[in-house]
């Protein structure tokens, strides 16, 4: 009797899992419902990190506290844009400090909502997946809130706020366009699509066994499906887009950069004969920043 009852429970659990796995999604709704307007903000000087650097603390109507690192444009900059960004998850909000201080743009790098370990084994990743999922699905709302706050400040200007998503930040930056009308332009650096291929490639790169990597990638991709770039391409059609891609990007599976480009056919694409950009590549980052700001100056 106990064995039969256990088998019935397993069967029902399997049916429920299958129903969830193949159920229809409302990806845009999943992103929008996590977005909440900013109701208060505090700016704290961070002179130890450099000139014009501040820590921003935002509070949303939902009660979330968000943080970012701001560096204002150099004095004398003419009508500078504000770039609200996600760098790599390891660099976090200090990505603002990677942008050369002489660049004629305000920069606000938001902290990733995931505060747990940056690297995990596949078994631990599966255990942490619900928390990781919620944090990652909140990331577009974090960018949208940063853009809203920046547009309200005296240095900012509505209509001159751009989002930048680098590496893992590319999909959240694109999805943030579905959450908020504030961003007027989008810049993507070393991003790809679809998410399922990116996850599987990363697991293969980490040499996880196939028997574990295949189902783990499928489940993770299904959980993160609301971030899938194809769901948010429509929101990007009315905005100018600049995409930087690396021809020898080892962090992306072959063809994934091109798949992202195909979703955004009106984007300007800049290919670099290089590998995936790293925080320590200061000259490369400076060149990308100069190119991005020059492109922004052409808009509007």
Average pLDDT over residues 175-186: 95
The pLDDT of 229-234, averaged and rounded, is: 96
CA distance 208 to 248: 22
- Residue 200's pLDDT is 83
Q: Domain 33-298 carries which CATH code?
A: 3.40.50.1820
pLDDT band at 13; cut points 50, 70, 90: very low
Least confident interval from 9-23, 28-42, 218-232 = 9-23
The ranges assigned to domains in the chain are 33-298
Q: Cβ of 294: how many Cβ atoms within 10 Å?
A: 10
Is the predicted pLDDT of residue 62 greater than 50, yes or no?
A: yes
> CA 29, CA 194: separation in Å to the nearest integer?
19
Q: Say which residue, 74 or 5, is predicted with more confidence.
A: 74
């Amino acid at each position: 009797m106990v064995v039969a009852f256990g088998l019935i429970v397993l069967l029902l659990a399997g049916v429920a899992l299958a129903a969830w796995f193949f159920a229809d999604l409302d990806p845009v709704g999943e992103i929008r419902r996590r977005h909440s307007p900013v109701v208060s903000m505090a700016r704290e000087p961070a002179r130890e990190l450099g000139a014009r650097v501040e820590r921003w603390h935002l509070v949303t109507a939902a009660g979330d506290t968000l943080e970012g690192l701001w560096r204002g444009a150099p004095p004398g900059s003419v009508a500078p844009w504000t770039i609200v960004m996600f760098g790599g998850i390891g660099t976090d909000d200090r990505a603002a400090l990677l942008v050369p201080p002489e660049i004629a743009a305000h920069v606000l790098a938001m902290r990733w909502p995931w505060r747990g370990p940056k690297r995990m084994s596949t078994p631990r990743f599966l255990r942490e997946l619900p928390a990781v999922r919620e944090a990652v699905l909140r990331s577009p709302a974090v960018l949208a809130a940063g853009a809203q706050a920046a547009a309200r400040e005296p240095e900012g200007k509505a209509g001159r706020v751009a989002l930048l998503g680098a590496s893992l930040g590319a999909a959240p930056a694109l999805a943030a366009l579905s959450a908020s009308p504030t961003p007027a332009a989008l810049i993507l650096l070393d991003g790809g699509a679809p998410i399922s291929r990116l996850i599987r490639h990363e697991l293969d790169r980490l040499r996880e066994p196939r028997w574990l990597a295949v189902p783990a990638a499928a489940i993770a991709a299904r959980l993160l499906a609301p971030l899938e770039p194809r769901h948010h391409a429509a929101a990007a059609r009315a905005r100018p887009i600049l995409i930087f891609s690396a021809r020898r990007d080892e962090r992306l599976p072959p063809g994934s950069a091109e798949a992202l480009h195909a979703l955004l056919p009106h984007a300007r694409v800049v290919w670099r004969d290089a590998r995936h950009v790293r925080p320590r590549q200061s000259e490369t980052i400076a060149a990308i920043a100069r190119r991005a700001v020059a492109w922004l100056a052409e808009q509007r």
